[in-house]
Amino acid sequence: MMKHLLLVLFISGMLITINYSFVEKANINTIDSAAQPEDVIKLKAKVIKAGLFKVIRSGGLVKSANTSTGKAISKPVIQMVKTTTRIPLVKDAHMSLQYRIWNLPEQPAYIKLRRVLKHPAMTLPDGKVSTGSDYMINGHVSIGQVIAYTGYGLNEEYEMLEGEWTFQIWYQDKKLVEQTFVTYWPDETEVQSLGSLSPAERIKHSSTSQSAMASLKPSNSHQQKQTAAKRNWMN
């Protein structure tokens, strides 16, 4: 009777162990199949540079449903004037930042990023009020990282607003990058010291403020210190 009882206990113990192991393995498989590489390897990001820029030239004005003003400048070439988070309200001044996101897998070659801009209330020519923009962009992955620009240019009188302009880059529900600029009215001395920030060839009826840089690449020109954009620059 005792042997039989021990045998029953032993068999029951084996069954419990086997069942427990099976359930635990099933749970592990579910977690693995749902996980994404970006979740396992936590993404890192930082702002590389931020400041006052000016446009040297561009590819022209295009319509854009994503921007604050409904317009965008394609393929701009920009040049940094100085590193700063304070942006003077001068015609054609551009607040821009370059950011880096890394710890990405090599594939896919592009990832979807969300680009957000929050700015002071702006009354557009049609009477509508804009407080920013929010849309998706493609981040080009190279060697496990994305390096890109985003920014905003001030062209029109209705864009000359004092206050905070905050740029954000999101991946899914994670905010990876945030940069805030503060615009202000400069005095006459500062305006003269800056000189003209307008491109040599102005675009007719354009507003470069209606563009935000999403995937700019630095040019190889060390002397000019220019940055060439190979995508639409949208605000």
Q: pLDDT tens-digit profile of 40-75? A: 468 999 999 999 999 888 776 677 777 777 666 677
Query: CA angle, 196 as apex, 55 and 221 as ends, to 5°?
Result: 40
Q: Where are the domains of the chain?
A: 2-34, 41-234
Q: What is the mean pLDDT of the chain?
A: 75
Strongest mean pLDDT among 65-69, 109-113, 205-209, 231-235: 109-113
Question: Does 17 or 164 have the greater pLDDT score?
Answer: 164
Quick one: pLDDT at residue 35?
A: 40
Quick one: pLDDT at residue 203?
A: 43
Q: pLDDT tens-digit profile of 166-210? A: 999 999 999 999 999 999 999 999 999 999 998 865 544 333 333
Is it the case that residue 228 has pLDDT exceeding 80? Answer: no
Quick one: pLDDT at residue 199?
A: 81
Which CATH architecture does the domain made up of 41-234 adopt? Sandwich (2.60)
Is it the case that residue 38 has pLDDT exceeding 70? Answer: no
- The span from the CA of 130 to the CA of 125, in Å, is 11
Q: pLDDT tens-digit profile of 79-88? A: 999 999 999 9
Quick one: pLDDT at residue 41?
A: 64
Is the entire prediction scored with pTM above 0.85? no
